[in-house]
């Protein structure tokens, strides 16, 4: 099942920079791990914001929930999820 996920990151003022930098490195590694597994299909940066738009391909909403909670920056995120389904006019066969 495909989901569009918007993740807004809100780092608190006064947060320990070294700790946040470590979390960012862990977040990048986790993202790339999930991309190599095929569950995090796409990620785009939103210009002018600490936000991304991503497409996830997972079995169901429960799997997505667990995956999102596993992200190192999850405690600092506001997340919006939109379930998606294949459009009948799509020429791409992998849109499921």
**All domains of the chain, ordered by start, with CATH?**
2-84 (3.30.70.1060)
Residue pointed to by tokens 């009948």: 88
Strand 2-9: give its sheet, edge to edge. 40-45, 51-57, 2-9, 77-84
Give residue 86's pLDDT.
83
Q: Which helix (H) or strand (E) covers residue 3, if one does?
A: strand 2-9
Give residue 94's pLDDT.
72
Give residue 87's pLDDT.
86
Q: One digit per residue, pLDDT tens: the chain, 96 residues?
A: 999 999 999 999 999 999 999 999 999 999 999 999 999 999 999 999 999 999 999 999 999 999 999 999 999 999 999 999 888 898 887 766
Q: Is 26 in contact with 72 (CB distance < 8 Å)?
A: yes
Give residue 95's pLDDT.
67
Q: Is 53 in contact with 6 (CB distance < 8 Å)?
A: yes
Give residue 4's pLDDT.
98
Q: Is the model's pTM score more than 0.85?
A: yes
């Amino acid at each position: 099942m495909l989901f569009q996920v918007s993740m807004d990151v809100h780092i608190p003022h006064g947060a320990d920079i070294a700790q946040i930098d470590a979390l960012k490195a862990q977040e990048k590694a986790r993202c790339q791990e999930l991309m190599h597994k095929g569950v995090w299909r796409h990620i785009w940066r939103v210009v002018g914001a600490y936000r991304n738009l991503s497409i996830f391909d997972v079995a169901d909403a429960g799997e997505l929930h667990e995956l999102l909670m596993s992200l190192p920056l999850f405690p600092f995120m506001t997340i919006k999820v939109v379930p998606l389904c294949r459009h009948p006019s799509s020429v791409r066969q992998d849109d499921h």
